[in-house]
Amino acid sequence: MDYIKIFATRGSDLWSAMIEHLIISGTALILGIIVAVPLGIYLVKTKNTWLRSIAFSITNIFQTIPSLALLAILIPLIGIGKFPAIIALFLYSLLPILRNTYSGFKSIDESIIEAARGMGYDGKQRLFRIELPLAIPYLMSGIRLTTIYIISWATLATLIGAGGLGELIYGGLSVYDKPLIFASSITTMILAIVIDFLLGALEKFLTKQTTSREQSA
């Protein structure tokens, strides 16, 4: 019974923690998209192979650092609070988005690019009218995956004082408040599931013209 009641008694705490959680994850994600998508596009277009491998290596390194370690190492560098947490999550988001953007653009049939060039699309028109729409399925799946990661890792961000749902989970753990642990964890899970579902719907909406048609044929 306690497990249900807790949602009523701590409802406003849970709600504000969830909003905080969303802000942290959302900011990190948007930053990640702003940096990784253009970078990914640039890496596809550039003939500079070493630049490409450097970019991938660096983002790869961020991805391999254990999340707790990455959060910890940011404390001496930029202190504690929301900002370092967002930076850490942003660094995590880079690789999956970058890699999916890159493979999304790489997956476009050469002949389509050549046709677009040969028919007289200029660079910008080609990017926005042809390449981007065709790469969207890959891009979206990268973003979707990253979002789920970020939402789960954001629970750790409380360790450097960022707040969010993690704060309630750790708070509950430290005093062994089982209903609170339960409620905050469930909220995190539901948040992840709902966001994933929404992004999935968005992905379907954006890609229904290309992929679904192709599959049906």
Binding site for other proteins (CB under 8 A): 109, 111-112, 114-122, 125, 130, 133-134, 209-210, 213-214, 216-217
Of the two residues 3 and 128, which places its CB atom closer to other proteins in the complex? 128
Of the two residues 9 and 210, which places its CB atom closer to other proteins in the complex? 210
- Phi and psi at 5, nearest 5°, equal -60, -35
Please state the separation of Cα 95 from the chain's center in Å.
10
> To the nearest whole angstrom, how small is the minimum distance from the Cβ of residue 184 to other proteins?
43
Of the two residues 174 and 216, which places its CB atom closer to other proteins in the complex? 216
> To the nearest whole angstrom, how small is the minimum distance from the Cβ of residue 217 to other proteins?
4
Of the two residues 64 and 216, which places its CB atom closer to other proteins in the complex? 216
> To the nearest whole angstrom, how small is the minimum distance from the Cβ of residue 45 to other proteins?
16
> To the nearest whole angstrom, how small is the minimum distance from the Cβ of residue 123 to other proteins?
9
> To the nearest whole angstrom, how small is the minimum distance from the Cβ of residue 36 to other proteins?
23
Of the two residues 50 and 176, which places its CB atom closer to other proteins in the complex? 50
